[in-house]
Amino acid sequence: MLTTLTNVLKKAHRQNYAVGAFNINNLEILQAVMDAAEAERAPVVISTSEGALKYAGMEELGTLVHLAAKRSKRPVVFHLDHGKNYDLVVRAIKSGFYTSVMFDGSSLPYKENIKLTKRLVTMAHRRGISVEAELGAIAGIEDFVSVEEKDAHLTDPEQALEFVQRTGCDALAVAIGTSHGAYKFGGDSQLDFKRLTTIKDLVKVPLVLHGASGIPSTIKNQCIKYGCKIEKAKGVSDAHIRRAVKLGINKVNIDSDLRIAFDAGVRKFLHEQPEVFDPRKILGPAKELMTKVVRQKMRMFGSTGKG
Ligand code: G3H
Ligand code: 13P
Ligand code: ZN
């Protein structure tokens, strides 16, 4: 069943677990994520980025997600991920498809981020839609050479409190050292847990962790074995994700891990069965591998059995 982000995160916040938000841009990824949610009896957030909408269309993806959600007994949130373009967020709110939108004003001056987020919150709440906002730069912790630089980019706890109070947003994406994509760290996984703890003490809305893919070695190695050049790919360790959830993260965003699972599945199949050219057969193992990844995430986030 389709529901809002506020609804699913309320329970996660109370019971100290996180709901997985998975990016989709086609039918097969959606099916893989929904199969996992069914198998784990877990709530799920289906996210579409601006890029996904450009690739597949808002109506097309919206229709697919609505059908899947209607047929499911699990709480399903349909979410716009990283809406940086104000007009696109407005379009998503008015489309009738989304139950949640993210306005990503993190690259704007602070006051402008507050102003636009607040305006979208009013518009979304009038229609019963949740709003996730972002404060701080989601960028690799290793990109910052000094404490001053780190403080300037990662989410400032006091500012986060003021931001949430002034905008009325329903969830806040915080920057604590993760980054998007498959290359997050040169060395070991590293997150600013002290900052997360301080933010959690001050901010009362559910917190969101972006850039949370782990780049599991079995999948990475399968990609490499069959020709994908991602030797230096590195994600957030499972232990660090568990710790972040324990310290109060209630929504965890995953995209890259689905991409590498898709890649690993397709490459292996094409290598082993070069005579097959039916897309339905080629995409089968990729779908199964993505479901396996999503199920493992749901268990790790503690959302299994919560839907
Ligand atoms: O947060 C970003 C997601 O991984 C979406 O990536 O803009 O390439 O669709 P994309
Ligand atoms: P990853 O690139 O780590 O999967 O992060 C995805 C994300 O944050 C989507 O909003
Ligand atoms: Zn993100």
At 150, which CATH number?
3.20.20.70
Q: Which tokens is 19 given?
A: 């709901």
Q: Which residues line ligand 1 (CB under 6 A)?
A: 23, 49, 51-52, 81-82, 180, 255
Residues 6+ positions from 228 with CB-CB distance below 8 Å? 260, 263, 264, 267
Whether 77 maps to a domain, the answer reads yes
Task: Give the C-alpha separation, 223 to 227, whole Å.
Answer: 6
Residue 100 pLDDT? 98
Whether 307 maps to a domain, the answer reads no
Whether 182 maps to a domain, the answer reads yes
Of 42, 80, 87, 74, the C-alpha closest to 61 is 80
User: What is the tally of structural domains in the chain?
Assistant: 1
State which ligand 1 atom lies nearest to the alpha carbon of 181: 4
Residue of the CA atom closest to atom 3 of ligand 2: 211
Containing structural domain, residue 258? 2-301
Residue 270 pLDDT? 98
Task: Give the C-alpha separation, 87 to 173, whole Å.
Answer: 21
Residue of the CA atom closest to atom 1 of ligand 2: 211
- pLDDT tens digit at each of 307 positions of the chain: 999 999 999 999 999 999 999 999 999 999 999 999 999 999 999 999 999 999 999 999 999 999 999 999 999 999 999 999 999 999 999 999 999 999 999 999 999 999 999 999 999 999 999 999 999 988 777 777 788 888 879 999 999 999 999 999 999 999 999 999 999 999 999 999 999 999 999 999 999 999 999 999 999 999 999 999 999 999 999 999 999 999 999 999 999 999 999 999 999 999 999 999 999 999 999 999 999 999 999 999 999 999 9
The pTM score is 0.97
State which ligand 2 atom lies nearest to the alpha carbon of 254: 4
Residue of the CA atom closest to atom 4 of ligand 1: 255
Residue 167 pLDDT? 98
Give the chain's largest Cα–Cα span.
60
Do residues 198 and 157 make contact, with C-beta atoms less than 8 angstroms apart?
A: yes
Instruction: State the catalytic residues.
Output: 81
Question: Which of the listed residues 5, 210, 236, 258 should we mutate to test ligand 2's pocket, taking the one with most ligand atoms within 8 A of CB?
Answer: 210
